[in-house]
Amino acid sequence: MKWRHVWVVLRKELRDGLRDRRSLFSALVFPLIGPVLVVVMFRFIAQQQAIDEPVPLPVIGAEHAPGLVEYLRQHDIDVREPPADAGEAVRTGEAPAVLVIPADYGDRFRASRSVRVELMVDNSRNETRSKVRRARRVLEAYAAGIGAQRLLLRGIDPQIAAPVAVAEVDLATAQQLAANVLNVIPMFVMMAAFIGGMYVATDSTAGERERGSLEPLLANPVSRTALVLGKWLATATLSGTSLLLTLVTAGVALSRAPLEELGVQASFGLDQAAVVCLVMLPVALLAAGLQLVVATFARSFREAQTYLSVLTLAPMLPGVMLTVMPLDQARWTLVVPILGQQQVLMDVIRGDAIGPAQLLVPSVIVLVLGLVCVRATAWLFGRERIVFGG
């Protein structure tokens, strides 16, 4: 095996690949799409969770219950004049709910009797649900407060009427949601590695055979290992470029995302960015190796493309697992390719210190697996079925 041959093949495949519009497209366009999508998601979440905005609430018969209305106003409810058709306003989502206060409110209230007020809602509307819940809570809090005062006036401890007090602790904060979205970014970066080199991997293996150039190529006095190493490095170069580009656009996109508003801490320094690149870049070696071996094994160019499209989904698995599983993970995940990189990446995002083991172990593992793939591809290149088809 001569390294000069590897260099010759690498240069040829890169030149060939860069003249192919499809390979350029996949290597350069995907990195721009992914991170931008993430930012859009962030903005969406920020809009959904605009907690501080007062809840607009039209009230019918507000004049009958000035005390209640005053209480609502003090608790972030924007009491409004009722629309002409209250039912229609709720159904169309114009108002999240409409409160109806009956005319006998004052009389019954003074007599310490229960008053029935109606909250008109449309439960089929998702976007108004949280506002309805807030309006309802304020109303219930008012009722509970008045009830407690009445009991106290009669010399009774209000706790007697509330044997069990339920306190709901809502964990689905905007911060949590945003953190989940942040977990998607490593997945995008991994996918970029798999998409960037896809065409070169296919073209230099299955394509080479379909074109009828594989047999002449193999007739040269060059070891198969040198040929495959060259093709591997060419594929990995495009994969790595795509991966780096995705990291850069993700960095730029995140710096423009409303992270602070959502309470997510993700402040990157340049040194952290360098660590991230160092950890993620070797993934390209594994992606390229896997793609070569799979595309060589396929019987045709089209078949290879189909397989590689499916392979692109592989890095999504750990991403999904990370989103579902808690962030704290066992140390053994460090040796699982891709999952290891993601773990280190999350450590960096959380601002934890990165040790030499975390820096080296995942990289060495993907490098070794990549070389195993090269070996397997070189072996396949020696098979008569692979070279001549059939």
Partner 1 sequence: MIRVHELRKAFGETLAVESVSFEAPQGRITGLLGPNGAGKTTTLRMISTMVAPDGGSAQVDGLDVQTHREQVRRRLGVLPDARGLYPRLTARENVRYFGQLHDLDDDAIDREIGRLFALLDMGALADRRVHGFSQGERMKVVIARALVHRPTHVMLDEPTNGLDVMSTRAMRDVIRGLRDEGRCVVFSSHVMQEVAALCDEIVVIARGRVVAQGTPESLCEQTGKANLEDAFVAAIGTDEGLAR
Using alpha carbons, list the distances in angstroms from residue 122 to 88, 89, 97: 10, 10, 8
Using the rule CB under 8 A, is 222 a contact of partner 1?
yes
Using the rule CB under 8 A, is 110 a contact of partner 1?
no
Question: Which of 1, 3, 15, 325 is the binder for partner 1 (CB under 8 A)?
Answer: 15
> Cα(318)–Cα(321) distance, rounded to whole angstroms?
5
Using the rule CB under 8 A, is 261 a contact of partner 1?
no
- Least distance in Å: CB of 243 to partner 1? 24
The per-residue b/e assignment along 257-286, b for 16 or more CB within 10 angstroms, e otherwise, is bebeebebebebeeebeebbbebbbbbbbb
Contact of 69 with 139, CB cutoff 8 Å? no
Q: Binding segment for partner 1 among 13-21, 86-94, 260-268, 315-323 (CB under 8 A)?
A: 13-21
Question: Which of 213, 265, 300, 309 is the binder for partner 1 (CB under 8 A)?
Answer: 213
> Cα(116)–Cα(359) distance, rounded to whole angstroms?
65
Residue 111 is classified by DSSP as T
Residue 64 is classified by DSSP as G
Using the rule CB under 8 A, is 6 a contact of partner 1?
no
Q: Binding segment for partner 1 among 14-22, 42-50, 120-128, 234-242 (CB under 8 A)?
A: 14-22
**Which residue lies nearer to partner 1 by CB, 235 or 312?**
235
Q: In what order do the strands lie in the sheet with 118-121?
A: 77-80, 55-60, 97-100, 118-121
- 3-class state of residue 366 by DSSP: helix
Using the rule CB under 8 A, is 24 a contact of partner 1?
no
Q: Total residues at the site for partner 1 (CB under 8 A)? A: 27
- Least distance in Å: CB of 25 to partner 1? 15
Characterise 93 by phi-psi region: left (phi > 0), alpha (psi -120 to 50), beta (else): left
Question: Which of 144, 148, 359, 387 is the binder for partner 1 (CB under 8 A)?
Answer: 387
- Least distance in Å: CB of 272 to partner 1? 40
**Which residue lies nearer to partner 1 by CB, 13 or 347?**
13
Residues that bind partner 1 (CB under 8 A): 2, 4-5, 8-9, 12, 15-16, 19-20, 208, 211-222, 384, 387-388, 390
